Structure 1
Amino acid sequence: MLSYIVWSPKPYIVDLGFTELRWYGLLFALGFIISQQVMFHIFKKEGKKERQVEVLTLYMVLAVIIGARLGHVLFYEPARYLSNPIDILKVWEGGLASHGGAAGILIALYLFAKKYNDISYLWILDRIVIVVAITGALIRTGNFMNSEIIGEPTDKAYGVVFGREVELRLNYLTTAIEEVEVERAKSSATLESMPEGDFEYPVKLTVSFNDKNKLEDVKRFTETQMLSKLQESTISQHIEFSSNTKFEYNEKGGFIYATTYGNGVPRHAAQLYEAISCVFIFLLLFYLWNKNRSGLADGRLFGIFLIACFGLRFLYEFIKENQVAFEDGLALNMGQWLSIPLVLAGIYFIVQSIRAEKRI
């Protein structure tokens, strides 16, 4: 049995009844909080006013949310949103594009630089990318908590079986289901329901029903409707269940439990790859700023960020699932096409900063 991880956390920290406190929202907000504190430090070290950081934070929050949302609308699903414009406002349903966020930041910082005479556009770009990197790390971690933006299947030992989609799909089947739990099977010896040799990555599925349901009704439901659902591609891309899958039943604590086993489909944890990369980019940029802030020509840090961040994004897209169907017919997906001009822009800014240093 190869090593693998089954990942299926709840996307929320606590259910308040009227709403949920979600990991993604918390990490998103934490990114701005940490970024603001780092920018306070940078502005203080460089003799700028701390009040300017408060204004900058407002600009950045609006730029990221509006830019990322419109970026997703225009780049990935224009037909859907243009036919239902009101859905553009439903940010809580998901759909944010990092490239759109980048465009929003560029516009917002231009307006910010115009507001203050002592701050140039390139100067603030060089500083803001330091904190954009750490915010990006936290946002991608939020994507991991949501089990979204997943990678392609892999046989590597660090592959992750994302079970959350399976849980959601089954929960929608009927209100009789109390809870669905996906976990790594402790022993392949218990997998009698699967053909021998087909369970390289055994996963245990447990569905609980309240005792208001009769056992014979639960059996009828699991062995017809639920078994049919388990064959659908939305589930089989995460966990494969054979058409002759068997269920085990037991009653305990007022619940009826139906248990079966499937073969997990480990995938690259692309969200974590990007998150870890962003942490290293943050450390690199902060180090360069801290060591050479008075000696680096404007645009150097910004150029490094564009090349590192979007160059890696271009590469990671090769091991990520496409976000929308139309990308399947493209030589490169939308994320890669949008990354290319940003990498080229990064090269331009580095070249310009080197020329500026030579002129001094």
Structure 2
Amino acid sequence: MLSYIVWSPKPYIVDLGFTELRWYGLLFALGFIISQQIMFYIFKKEGKKEKQVEVLTLYMVLATIIGARLGHVLFYEPARYFSNPLDILKIWEGGLASHGGAAGILIALYLFARKYSDINYLWILDRIVIVVAITGALIRTGNFMNSEIIGEPTDKAYGVVFGREVELRVNYLASAIEDVEVERAKSSSLIDGSPEKSFEYPVKMVVAYSNKVKLEDVKRFTETQLLNKLQESNISQHVEFSKDAKFDYNQKGAFIYATTYGNGVPRHAAQLYEAISCFLIFLLLFYLWNKNRSGLADGRLFGIFLIACFGLRFFYEFIKENQVAFEDGLALNMGQWLSIPLVLAGIYFIFQSLKAEKRI
């Protein structure tokens, strides 16, 4: 029962007609809301003004969005966006880079520290990484809800078959298709009187057509155009369907249902690995701050965060799919190359904080 999971939730919580309330947007916003409350607590404990947190929140929101967007543009798809610069503004189409967000935050915090004479740059960096970690956990959870930033195939018991990509590509194939559902096959069902093909990770796909279309036309379309679509690599990397796949048809209510089976491709849930790691980093940093906030030299928490967050990111990249094609020809992908200097910076800040403590 735990050999694999089929994951294909809708990326939105509710469709409002004119727009959708999406999981990613909600979790992204929730990260800033929770972070602000934690920063209120930290500032109050350390005798700072709460109004400064309100200004800090604005700096962080703008820096994260602008930095992450420009980071994706510069690091991953510069040619595309430089030839179509207006596309840079289309954030709703996706494309945010955490390394770019980190750069944006560093710049914004430098400007913030200059604004207030009672706030040191390293002091605010040490505090902000506490909430950056919890926000990162929520954002990566949002990536999981969107079935994006997926991992490489695995045979581990916690492997996840991401069926959402299959659903989207099939759903857009014809206007007569009303819905597509991909789920784990509960049993060895029968199709056309013959036992289902023996699959290691059996997955069932149900395509719902409008009953305004004749059954004969549904069968003809399903067994030609749809079947051909199922052979494409962007589908077979998630679920493998035989070119001779059989379909079971039945009509119920306003729909005609076409059901077939395939073999799922379990992958590492890399988004969840990073989300859990970020949450644990948050707990560690908050514990260290709360236990000995006056005894830690400036830069210590910042250094720990850089090493833990981007050190883990470096290793997680080995089990993640590359985001863009040009990375396939690199010894290390872009995420790894960008993580190396941040880890080195973390080592530097810890070393400097240890030297500062010895001088006290």
Report the TM range for the smaller structure's normalisation. Answer: over 0.9
| CA offsets 1:297-321 (integer angstroms, 9 cap, x no match) | 0000000000000000000000000
Alignment match, 1:136: 136
CA drift of 1:188 comes to 2.8
Moved more, 182-191 or 48-57: 182-191
**2-side partners of 1:25 and 1:16: how far apart?**
15
1:293 aligns with 2:277: no
CA drift of 1:2 comes to 6.6
Q: How does 1:86-97 map to 2 (within 5 A)?
A: 86-97=86-97
Alignment match, 2:312: 312
Alignment match, 1:74: 74
Q: How does 1:140-159 map to 2 (within 5 A)?
A: 140-159=140-159
Alignment match, 1:33: 33
Q: Secondary structure at the match of 1:119?
A: coil
Alignment match, 1:106: 106
**Aligned length, in residue pairs:** 358
Alignment match, 1:4: 4
Cα 1:194–1:240, aligned 2, differ >3 Å: closer, same or farther?
farther
CA drift of 1:212 comes to 0.4
1:349 aligns with 2:349: yes
Q: Which amino acid aligns with 1:80?
A: R
| CA offsets 1:95-146 (integer angstroms, 9 cap, x no match) | 0000000000000000000000000000000000000000000000000000
Contact kept, 8 Å, 1:194 with 1:245, in 2: the verdict is no
Contact kept, 8 Å, 2:202 with 2:261, in 1: the verdict is yes
**1-side partners of 2:118 and 2:195: how far apart?**
70
**1-side partners of 2:281 and 2:56: how far apart?**
21
**2-side partners of 1:222 and 1:180: how far apart?**
13
Q: Which amino acid aligns with 1:44?
A: K
Contact kept, 8 Å, 1:307 with 1:347, in 2: the verdict is yes
Q: Which amino acid aligns with 2:205?
A: L
Q: Which runs of 5+ in 2 are unaligned?
A: none
**2-side partners of 1:188 and 1:283: how far apart?**
45
Q: Which amino acid aligns with 1:317?
A: E
Q: Secondary structure at the match of 1:188?
A: coil
Alignment match, 2:24: 24
Q: Which amino acid aligns with 1:169?
A: R
Alignment match, 1:266: 266
Q: Which amino acid aligns with 1:340?
A: I
**1-side partners of 2:190 and 2:135: how far apart?**
44
Contact kept, 8 Å, 2:189 with 2:196, in 1: the verdict is no
**1-side partners of 2:23 and 2:153: how far apart?**
25
Q: Secondary structure at the match of 2:13?
A: strand
Alignment match, 2:276: 276
Q: How does 1:133-282 map to 2 (within 5 A)?
A: 133-190=133-190, 192=194, 195-196=197-198, 199-282=199-282
TM-score, normalised on structure 2?
A: 0.98
Alignment match, 1:124: 124
CA drift of 1:193 comes to 7.1
Percent identity of paired positions between Structure 1 and Structure 2? 87
**2-side partners of 1:16 and 1:289: how far apart?**
42
Q: How does 1:51-66 map to 2 (within 5 A)?
A: 51-66=51-66
Contact kept, 8 Å, 2:189 with 2:195, in 1: the verdict is no
Cα 1:10–1:92, aligned 2, differ >3 Å: closer, same or farther?
same
Q: Secondary structure at the match of 2:332?
A: coil
Alignment match, 1:326: 326
Q: Which amino acid aligns with 1:51?
A: K
**1-side partners of 2:254 and 2:86: how far apart?**
44
Q: Which amino acid aligns with 2:331?
A: A
**1-side partners of 2:216 and 2:69: how far apart?**
48
Contact kept, 8 Å, 1:194 with 1:242, in 2: the verdict is no
**2-side partners of 1:193 and 1:238: how far apart?**
23
TM-score, normalised on structure 1?
A: 0.98
Q: Where does structure 1 differ by over 3 angstroms across 4 or more consecutive aligned residues?
A: 189-196
**1-side partners of 2:212 and 2:202: how far apart?**
31
**1-side partners of 2:281 and 2:243: how far apart?**
47
CA drift of 1:194 comes to 5.4
CA drift of 1:222 comes to 0.2
Q: Secondary structure at the match of 1:203?
A: strand
Q: Which runs of 5+ in 1 are unaligned?
A: none
| CA offsets 1:215-267 (integer angstroms, 9 cap, x no match) | 00000000000000000000000000011000000000121000000000000
Q: Secondary structure at the match of 1:117?
A: coil
Q: Which amino acid aligns with 1:304?
A: I
Q: Which amino acid aligns with 1:31?
A: G
